[in-house]
Structure 1
């Protein structure tokens, strides 16, 4: 079989394949015989249909098309084996099938073109001289105090208050009704859905609509008060977003929080530790490790971004489409956990657009995965069995009670560990500058604002010139 190869973009190989005359004839005769045995032709028993009648009833073009469908598939497979091509996915026919049917004449050679995806080609840049900035997350002792205060709040005893007005930190039981702001000489109308009875409110700053809690400070039990508040612009109900509303609020009960002492009894109540000192030490270690992990993630994010910028990866569409499917699957799982109806979004009409929108993320993720795998291969970075087994056991504990495919779990964990180990190795080679938390985000926002201003200035200048 004569085969000509052509290297194409996106990790594709173009194939021009010539089907020898004898192979085409043999395939055609085989198809005619198969159809003669299986075709239902009125007036004839199966396997007893004369060849001229069969071709007349089915049509020569139909028989040639059926022959070509099998012949093209087998010819591409044979060409791949003959040329020792490492391919992934299925082939794509570049020639027009209808034109091939018209050209196909049993006993004569036929040439057609197809493409196959091959494993991606990766070119690594100078990865041993990377320079990155990363945000450093530093443990703040106030985190521990805030956490302990939160635990005190949860364990607080509510004491009825009758001899003073409401103050910040109290808990109020209220009835409320929201109404429209009336025009002059008219009365406001109650707003459906903006109402509540025996509603518990913690009088703390930032709760509910801005100004509501502050407006209740100073009220006494059984007192009713009207407060005019404005809903935020991003409020979920469009008919209320950014609108002023009059709240009629009645304080039915008022309670003060009596917080427990930060002592050993509280430590035993809220944790497995016997003393507050042990609890403090454990939580401080936890917060410190979380801060260190956050810093490490920032470093790794910076490294993979810079590494991607200096590497090239010719990505075959077969792998891209598989990654698009993974992106959409993860999105669907997240939406389902949020209680959203997937059937409304993932429809046959929406799916092509969803796949198109997911493609940029899929390409980025796929490139990052492949260049890290290539780096691990080049630098002989491997995951040892002990670390793999330890991580698998840890994940299995977290997924206890769930049906998990052990082979897929092992594959996922191995890939995750290899990525971590490769990034750790890359970090050792790189120059890392740690900056305060929030610095890079602020720089990005300033850069985007600058680009926007430049664009606007250019548009203004262009319009002025016109």
Structure 2
């Protein structure tokens, strides 16, 4: 086998690989010897078919496999010898298209090599970690929000008319073309006006009713209604208003705290304070992570594989285009222009991606099975009732596993970099942290 370099320009590499006819024939014979013990043929015992007959019978079929394995072996040997790591799958093509049995096999292989990543020293870098304490005002605001969510309803005066947001207790009977239908009736049903829990147009017609009123509500079922026999049909609901209740926020006390699983109000305040400071810490980490990536971008420079930059720039332009055209759900649109800004951003992403991968490998950063399981379960919760199916889908899909693993790996590498740098804490207000986070979104 002969490997000749044909291109060495920047990160671009090209090689001409020649596999001799003798090497290919030897590979075919090797595969036949390996298969011989299991082959049966009329007139011969199992495993006793002569090699010449095997070659005549199966040789042609095995040439393609032998050719592929020989070329793959040559490529692997080349990468082990040179230490090159291709940025993307190498482009391999046979050059003697008129090849026939007995000829040498000539193949061209081209690829872009991943660059040598320089060492990074963060020991002299100082990072600022923003720290926000949960103030009493923030805890009180959170408590008030919880009280609204835990609201109760108390009866209005008998003569009081219902308002949007009130709860009306009703008996109702629905009919289509004068006939009652299944599921169209209920007694003592508590309906919150404005909750949009009933057919569109139903709740609005009950604004202004009083206890003891009887009212016919006319609505039209949506065309896409789940019950096909009712879809698009007009219906009349005869309603009896039994009670009108006004919303009342829950009192902020120990009883309310117990509704949210806390022992008492002080314990609930402690939980809220802890949750708020955890949220602040997460936002502060995002700010410090961006600062770290900016430092890396300044400290390190190296050549980038053009194919990776081009692919990333196309992905960026495609994503941004869809954000600007949310009405287009498919991908059957025309070609999207990649701008200089897209390419600049792509270069940064590729550079930092390669650098973090290298740093993580050198630091022996690994994502554990337990961490992957936790990440999969967190994603599965977004599909209530289908968690098991989602879990099995991820287990059988290597690409999806990599999509979940990549951000976990990156975060662990970032934590490793935090440990290497000098981190100075700075206490700031919630508003200052919010401004820092908004600045990230604007970039």
Q: TM bucket by the smaller chain?
A: 0.5 to 0.7
Give, in whole Å, the separation in 1 of the partners of 2:442 and 2:407. Answer: 35
1:158-173 equivalences under 5 Å are 162=158, 164-167=160-163, 170-173=166-169
Q: 1:366 to 1:442 in 2, by over 3 A?
A: closer
Q: 1:46 to 1:437 in 2, by over 3 A?
A: closer
Q: Which 5+ residue runs of structure 2 have no aligned equivalent?
A: 120-131, 316-331, 333-341, 379-387, 396-401, 425-431
1:340-355 equivalences under 5 Å are none
The equivalent position to 1:217 in structure 2, one of 207, 219, 224, is 207
TM-score when normalising by structure 1: 0.51
Aligned to 1:76: 75
Give, in whole Å, the separation in 2 of the partners of 1:12 and 1:421. Answer: 32
1:144-163 equivalences under 5 Å are 144-145=140-141, 147-148=143-144, 150-151=146-147, 154=150, 156=152, 162=158
Q: Indicate the SS of the match to 1:94.
A: strand
Q: Are residue 111 (structure 1) and residue 100 (structure 2) matched?
A: no
Aligned to 2:93: 94
Q: Are residue 290 (structure 1) and residue 279 (structure 2) matched?
A: yes
- Shift in Å, 1:74: 3.1
Give, in whole Å, the separation in 2 of the partners of 1:156 and 1:192. Answer: 32
Q: 1:149 to 1:110 in 2, by over 3 A?
A: closer
1:250-329 equivalences under 5 Å are 250-255=240-245, 261-267=251-257, 270-272=260-262, 274=264, 276=265, 279-280=268-269, 283-284=272-273, 286-287=275-276, 290=279, 293-294=282-283, 297=286, 313-314=304-305
CA RMSD of aligned residues (A): 6.6
**How many residues in Structure 1 have an aligned counterpart in Structure 2?**
365
Q: 1:20 to 1:154 in 2, by over 3 A?
A: same
Asked if 2 retains the 8 angstrom alpha-carbon contact of 1:303 and 1:427, the reply is: no
- Shift in Å, 1:94: 1.5
More displaced stretch, 200-209 vs 219-228? 200-209
Q: 1:24 to 1:165 in 2, by over 3 A?
A: closer
Aligned to 1:41: 41
Q: 1:172 to 1:308 in 2, by over 3 A?
A: farther
Q: 1:438 to 1:112 in 2, by over 3 A?
A: closer
Q: Are residue 27 (structure 1) and residue 27 (structure 2) matched?
A: yes
Asked if 2 retains the 8 angstrom alpha-carbon contact of 1:144 and 1:283, the reply is: no
Aligned to 2:411: 416
Give, in whole Å, the separation in 1 of the partners of 2:267 and 2:34. Answer: 81
- Shift in Å, 1:373: 0.3
Q: 1:281 to 1:244 in 2, by over 3 A?
A: farther
Asked if 2 retains the 8 angstrom alpha-carbon contact of 1:121 and 1:315, the reply is: no
- Shift in Å, 1:208: 5.8
Asked if 2 retains the 8 angstrom alpha-carbon contact of 1:173 and 1:252, the reply is: yes
Aligned to 1:370: 353
Asked if 2 retains the 8 angstrom alpha-carbon contact of 1:172 and 1:251, the reply is: yes
Aligned to 2:18: 18
Give, in whole Å, the separation in 2 of the partners of 1:191 and 1:427. Answer: 71
TM-score when normalising by structure 2: 0.53
Q: Which 5+ residue runs of structure 1 have no aligned equivalent?
A: 125-135, 181-187, 325-352, 354-359, 445-466
Q: Indicate the SS of the match to 2:262.
A: coil
Q: 1:142 to 1:211 in 2, by over 3 A?
A: farther
Q: 1:374 to 1:277 in 2, by over 3 A?
A: same
- Shift in Å, 1:43: 2.6
Q: 1:88 to 1:295 in 2, by over 3 A?
A: closer
Q: 1:51 to 1:150 in 2, by over 3 A?
A: closer
Q: 1:142 to 1:162 in 2, by over 3 A?
A: farther
Give, in whole Å, the separation in 2 of the partners of 1:206 and 1:92. Answer: 57
Q: Indicate the SS of the match to 1:112.
A: strand
Aligned to 2:60: 61
Asked if 2 retains the 8 angstrom alpha-carbon contact of 1:229 and 1:245, the reply is: yes
Q: Deviations over 1:387-437 (max 9, x none)?
A: x99x97xx79x99xx99x9xx999985642323665997999xxxx98869
More displaced stretch, 206-215 vs 265-274? 206-215
Q: 1:21 to 1:85 in 2, by over 3 A?
A: farther
